[in-house]
Amino acid sequence: MNDSSEPAPTSEPIETLDAIIGFFATEPKPSRTRDGVPKIYARYGTERFVHDLETGGTIKEEPTFHALTAYW
């Protein structure tokens, strides 16, 4: 029961972050920039699925591959 003297609960925005869903296609290679900042480089793949309009099922397609560089 909500007492009318209590303020109504407020919803706060949910903090979201970018994400990658996939698999490493190459071993990550650690290195440094010219300024000495540590980084890693790797290739990753993501699975692809499409909806088949005729059957209503899902068809798995060839994965796509992308480059990833992360600095810290």
Split into its structural domains, the chain has a count of 1
Q: Looking at the domain assignment, is residue 15 inside a domain?
A: no
Question: Can you tell me the distance from the alpha carbon of 61 to that of 45, in angstroms, rounded to the nearest whole number?
Answer: 12
Burial label, 64 (beta-carbon count in 10 A; 0-12, 13-18, 19+) = exposed
11-65: per-residue pLDDT in tens? 788 787 888 899 999 999 999 999 999 999 999 999 999 999 999 999 999 999 9
pLDDT at position 67, please? 97
Residue 12 falls within a domain, yes or no?
no
Q: Would the pLDDT of 1 be above 70?
A: no
Residue 17 within a domain: no
Quickly state the pLDDT bin for 4 (edges 50, 70, 90). low
The answer to the question of residue 13 being in a domain is no
Residue 9 belongs to a domain: no
Instruction: Evaluate whether 47 touches 22 at the Cβ level (below 8 Å).
Output: yes
Question: Could you tell me if residue 53 is inside a domain?
Answer: yes
Is 29 contained in some domain? yes
What Å distances lie between residue 57 and 31, 47, 52, 53, CA to CA?
44, 16, 5, 8
Q: What's the pLDDT at 10?
A: 75
Domain limits at 54? Answer: 23-71
What is the pLDDT, as a whole number, of residue 29? 97
Q: Is 8 among the domain residues?
A: no
